Structure 1
Amino acid sequence: MLSWRRFCPTEHMWNEALIKEEYTPIDAKYILPFQVWEDRQSDGLVFHHECKGLFTVHSAYHLLKHLGAEGDTSYGEQGPDLQGWRFIWDSSIPRKVHIFA
Protein backbone atom coordinates (compact mmCIF):
# COMPACT_ATOMS: atom_id res chain seq x y z
CA MET A 1 0.00 0.00 0.00
CA LEU A 2 1.27 3.47 -0.83
CA SER A 3 1.41 6.03 1.94
CA TRP A 4 0.98 9.73 1.26
CA ARG A 5 3.97 10.39 3.53
CA ARG A 6 6.16 8.76 0.89
CA PHE A 7 4.91 11.34 -1.59
CA CYS A 8 5.18 14.21 0.87
CA PRO A 9 8.42 13.75 2.86
CA THR A 10 8.70 17.40 3.95
CA GLU A 11 6.16 19.74 5.42
CA HIS A 12 3.59 20.93 2.88
CA MET A 13 5.54 19.87 -0.23
CA TRP A 14 4.89 17.07 -2.73
CA ASN A 15 7.80 14.96 -3.94
CA GLU A 16 7.02 15.97 -7.50
CA ALA A 17 9.60 13.65 -9.09
CA LEU A 18 8.18 10.61 -7.28
CA ILE A 19 4.60 11.47 -8.21
CA LYS A 20 5.56 11.84 -11.86
CA GLU A 21 7.41 8.52 -11.65
CA GLU A 22 4.59 6.56 -9.96
CA TYR A 23 1.58 8.02 -11.80
CA THR A 24 0.62 8.60 -15.41
CA PRO A 25 1.23 12.16 -16.66
CA ILE A 26 -2.47 13.00 -16.59
CA ASP A 27 -2.89 11.65 -13.03
CA ALA A 28 0.18 13.59 -11.85
CA LYS A 29 -1.29 16.71 -13.45
CA TYR A 30 -4.37 16.36 -11.22
CA ILE A 31 -2.49 15.37 -8.04
CA LEU A 32 0.19 18.06 -7.93
CA PRO A 33 -2.13 21.10 -7.70
CA PHE A 34 -3.65 19.77 -4.46
CA GLN A 35 -2.29 21.53 -1.44
CA VAL A 36 -0.73 19.19 1.11
CA TRP A 37 -2.80 19.00 4.26
CA GLU A 38 -1.13 20.71 7.19
CA ASP A 39 -2.50 18.41 9.91
CA ARG A 40 -0.37 15.26 9.80
CA GLN A 41 -2.67 12.58 11.15
CA SER A 42 -1.98 8.88 11.00
CA ASP A 43 -2.49 7.31 7.58
CA GLY A 44 -5.63 5.35 6.94
CA LEU A 45 -7.87 4.26 4.13
CA VAL A 46 -11.05 6.31 4.06
CA PHE A 47 -13.85 6.32 1.50
CA HIS A 48 -15.65 9.56 2.27
CA HIS A 49 -18.82 8.53 0.44
CA GLU A 50 -19.56 5.87 3.06
CA CYS A 51 -20.52 6.68 6.65
CA LYS A 52 -18.08 4.07 8.02
CA GLY A 53 -15.31 5.26 5.68
CA LEU A 54 -15.00 1.83 4.07
CA PHE A 55 -15.06 1.24 0.33
CA THR A 56 -17.46 -1.43 -0.84
CA VAL A 57 -18.72 -2.30 -4.28
CA HIS A 58 -22.19 -1.47 -2.97
CA SER A 59 -21.16 2.04 -1.88
CA ALA A 60 -19.29 2.66 -5.16
CA TYR A 61 -22.34 1.55 -7.13
CA HIS A 62 -24.58 3.97 -5.25
CA LEU A 63 -22.05 6.79 -5.68
CA LEU A 64 -21.86 6.24 -9.44
CA LYS A 65 -25.64 5.92 -9.66
CA HIS A 66 -26.02 9.20 -7.75
CA LEU A 67 -23.46 10.99 -9.95
CA GLY A 68 -25.16 9.68 -13.09
CA ALA A 69 -28.54 10.90 -11.85
CA GLU A 70 -27.09 14.38 -11.35
CA GLY A 71 -25.63 14.33 -14.84
CA ASP A 72 -22.09 14.59 -13.43
CA THR A 73 -19.80 13.36 -16.18
CA SER A 74 -16.74 15.30 -15.06
CA TYR A 75 -14.86 12.20 -13.96
CA GLY A 76 -15.17 10.70 -17.42
CA GLU A 77 -14.05 13.93 -19.03
CA GLN A 78 -11.30 14.89 -16.62
CA GLY A 79 -10.46 11.66 -14.82
CA PRO A 80 -7.41 9.47 -15.15
CA ASP A 81 -6.24 7.90 -18.38
CA LEU A 82 -8.54 4.91 -18.91
CA GLN A 83 -6.76 3.41 -21.92
CA GLY A 84 -5.36 0.52 -19.85
CA TRP A 85 -8.77 -0.31 -18.43
CA ARG A 86 -10.36 -0.01 -21.87
CA PHE A 87 -7.99 -2.77 -23.06
CA ILE A 88 -9.28 -5.07 -20.31
CA TRP A 89 -12.94 -4.19 -20.81
CA ASP A 90 -12.77 -4.64 -24.59
CA SER A 91 -10.76 -7.87 -24.54
CA SER A 92 -12.36 -11.20 -25.38
CA ILE A 93 -11.92 -12.94 -22.05
CA PRO A 94 -14.51 -14.72 -19.90
CA ARG A 95 -17.02 -12.40 -18.23
CA LYS A 96 -15.97 -13.45 -14.72
CA VAL A 97 -12.41 -12.27 -15.48
CA HIS A 98 -13.75 -8.86 -16.57
CA ILE A 99 -15.52 -8.52 -13.23
CA PHE A 100 -12.42 -9.30 -11.17
CA ALA A 101 -9.91 -7.36 -13.30
Structure 2
Amino acid sequence: MVHGFLLSNEQAGHLLEGEYNPRCIPPWDLSDPKDRKDFVRKIAEARKLTPLNPLGWLLNDDDYAPIQNLVSGKDVMKLVENSEKKAWQESQKLQAEAMAKWGTND
Protein backbone atom coordinates (compact mmCIF):
# COMPACT_ATOMS: atom_id res chain seq x y z
CA MET A 1 0.00 0.00 0.00
CA VAL A 2 2.68 2.48 0.97
CA HIS A 3 4.62 1.84 -2.24
CA GLY A 4 1.91 0.79 -4.71
CA PHE A 5 -0.50 3.61 -3.87
CA LEU A 6 2.13 6.08 -2.60
CA LEU A 7 0.36 6.34 0.76
CA SER A 8 1.85 7.95 3.84
CA ASN A 9 2.18 5.76 6.92
CA GLU A 10 -0.79 7.61 8.42
CA GLN A 11 -2.96 7.06 5.33
CA ALA A 12 -2.04 3.37 5.17
CA GLY A 13 -2.72 3.01 8.89
CA HIS A 14 -6.13 4.64 8.58
CA LEU A 15 -7.13 2.33 5.71
CA LEU A 16 -5.77 -0.78 7.40
CA GLU A 17 -7.49 0.10 10.67
CA GLY A 18 -10.85 0.79 9.03
CA GLU A 19 -10.94 -1.77 6.22
CA TYR A 20 -8.51 -4.59 6.95
CA ASN A 21 -8.43 -4.91 10.74
CA PRO A 22 -12.18 -5.62 11.16
CA ARG A 23 -11.74 -8.66 8.89
CA CYS A 24 -8.79 -10.06 10.86
CA ILE A 25 -9.46 -13.06 13.07
CA PRO A 26 -8.99 -11.94 15.72
CA PRO A 27 -8.84 -8.23 14.91
CA TRP A 28 -6.01 -6.21 16.43
CA ASP A 29 -7.04 -4.59 19.71
CA LEU A 30 -5.93 -1.10 18.80
CA SER A 31 -7.07 0.26 22.17
CA ASP A 32 -4.17 -1.76 23.64
CA PRO A 33 -1.00 0.40 23.38
CA LYS A 34 1.14 -2.69 22.73
CA ASP A 35 -1.05 -3.83 19.81
CA ARG A 36 -1.24 -0.29 18.39
CA LYS A 37 2.56 0.05 18.57
CA ASP A 38 3.01 -3.29 16.75
CA PHE A 39 0.39 -2.30 14.14
CA VAL A 40 2.21 0.98 13.42
CA ARG A 41 5.57 -0.82 13.38
CA LYS A 42 4.36 -3.21 10.68
CA ILE A 43 3.48 -0.28 8.41
CA ALA A 44 6.90 1.30 9.01
CA GLU A 45 8.56 -2.05 8.24
CA ALA A 46 6.60 -2.32 4.98
CA ARG A 47 7.94 1.09 3.94
CA LYS A 48 11.53 -0.17 4.42
CA LEU A 49 11.02 -3.03 1.95
CA THR A 50 12.20 -2.55 -1.62
CA PRO A 51 9.15 -2.78 -3.92
CA LEU A 52 9.28 -5.19 -6.85
CA ASN A 53 7.41 -2.69 -9.07
CA PRO A 54 7.92 1.05 -9.68
CA LEU A 55 6.54 3.33 -6.96
CA GLY A 56 2.86 4.12 -7.52
CA TRP A 57 2.24 1.18 -9.86
CA LEU A 58 -1.25 0.59 -8.46
CA LEU A 59 -2.46 4.16 -8.99
CA ASN A 60 -3.51 3.51 -12.58
CA ASP A 61 -4.56 -0.12 -12.13
CA ASP A 62 -8.11 -0.64 -13.44
CA ASP A 63 -8.85 -3.08 -10.59
CA TYR A 64 -8.71 -0.20 -8.11
CA ALA A 65 -11.43 2.25 -9.16
CA PRO A 66 -11.65 5.50 -7.19
CA ILE A 67 -14.35 4.99 -4.57
CA GLN A 68 -15.31 8.66 -4.37
CA ASN A 69 -17.20 8.19 -7.65
CA LEU A 70 -19.16 5.22 -6.34
CA VAL A 71 -20.93 6.82 -3.35
CA SER A 72 -22.57 10.22 -3.18
CA GLY A 73 -22.46 12.53 -0.19
CA LYS A 74 -26.21 12.01 0.19
CA ASP A 75 -25.67 8.23 0.46
CA VAL A 76 -22.98 8.77 3.09
CA MET A 77 -25.31 10.96 5.14
CA LYS A 78 -28.00 8.25 4.99
CA LEU A 79 -25.48 5.69 6.21
CA VAL A 80 -24.45 7.96 9.10
CA GLU A 81 -28.06 8.67 10.03
CA ASN A 82 -28.96 4.97 9.92
CA SER A 83 -25.90 4.10 11.98
CA GLU A 84 -26.76 6.73 14.60
CA LYS A 85 -30.39 5.57 14.67
CA LYS A 86 -29.31 1.94 15.09
CA ALA A 87 -26.88 2.89 17.90
CA TRP A 88 -29.63 4.85 19.67
CA GLN A 89 -32.08 1.94 19.32
CA GLU A 90 -29.47 -0.47 20.67
CA SER A 91 -28.80 1.80 23.66
CA GLN A 92 -32.54 1.98 24.38
CA LYS A 93 -32.79 -1.81 24.20
CA LEU A 94 -29.84 -2.26 26.58
CA GLN A 95 -31.29 0.30 28.95
CA ALA A 96 -34.66 -1.49 28.97
CA GLU A 97 -32.95 -4.84 29.58
CA ALA A 98 -30.95 -3.37 32.47
CA MET A 99 -34.09 -1.83 33.98
CA ALA A 100 -35.91 -5.16 33.72
CA LYS A 101 -33.01 -7.01 35.32
CA TRP A 102 -31.94 -4.59 38.05
CA GLY A 103 -34.73 -2.05 38.36
CA THR A 104 -34.09 1.65 38.98
CA ASN A 105 -31.62 3.38 41.26
CA ASP A 106 -34.37 5.64 42.70
| TM-score computed with the length of structure 1 as normaliser | 0.27
Greater relative contact order (CA < 8 Å, ≥ 6 in sequence): 2
CA radius of gyration, larger in: 2
